[in-house]
Amino acid sequence: DPAKMFFFSDKRQVRALKVERARGFQYNLDGGTRPTDLRRADHLAKLRSWLEDEDTSLTAGKEQICVFGMGGVGKSTLARQFVTEVYREGGWEIVAFLHAGNLFPEYRELCEALKLQSKEQLKEMSDPDVRDALFAALREKAGQWLFVIDDVPTSEEERGLMQESKEGALYRFPWVDGRTLLTSRSSAWSEDGEGVAVGTFGEDEAVSWVVSRAKDWKGQEEDVQKFVKRLDCYPLALRQAVEYSVSVRLSSPLDYLADLDGSGERKWLEKLWKKYDSQK
């Protein structure tokens, strides 16, 4: 009976599989609904290949990957966007976004949220004991968790302290038991130097992003191109410039450039450029 056979069709099975991929526990993803406006399709594709282990030339079976680049180019935004999309799709028991400078407090929150220990028990435990309890739980859930550790240090000494010292936040971290995405200004956290290098926008990408945020500038693409060139397509500078322009309702990107080149206004941007130039 064709009507009955349809129940077993490929389309029907795909829809069923999507329903069955339940969302697990998420930590620090803003409920999995955080808006992500700096979409970097090529970078997301590389991360997807790493996660699904489809591109062996990129991953070679590695359980960790590093998104790296200078400050302000959107590494953290990219990482958060990626894991938020993965979380929405379901299929992972734990998806978490952690900050390298705040790991021990976040470990405590995770242990409590996952009901590994009570709040009273955690108060009596040292930071290393809390870390060890969380890591033990992650080993038991091998292959079921995805972590982001944001803004890990760049110096070899700091990396060593985090991973080799018994007091370090990443001492005996269970790398091989899950998937871990790190962000850093250095590629040293990627095995064999592999990873995803994030730089400034391309001109077309920058123009598209600006127009998507500054709706009144739609149809002024030539002037927007001058705007993005003036800011070197640098994501942080573009974000702040667009936010300012929208807030004061500038009708044209040329108005912003006239302001930028004016008599001493917008000193904050000059400070930003000094910081940017120092990282080139």
Low-confidence ranges of the chain (pLDDT < 50): 1-20, 31-36, 54-60, 263-265
Specify the pLDDT at position 28. Answer: 93
Residues 17-34 pLDDT 10s: 333 457 899 999 874 444
Q: What percent of the chain has pLDDT over 90?
A: 54
Q: What is the pTM of this model?
A: 0.74
Contact yes or no for 191/209 (Cβ under 8 A): no
Residues 165-224 pLDDT 10s: 999 999 999 999 999 999 999 888 876 557 898 988 888 888 988 998 899 999 999 999
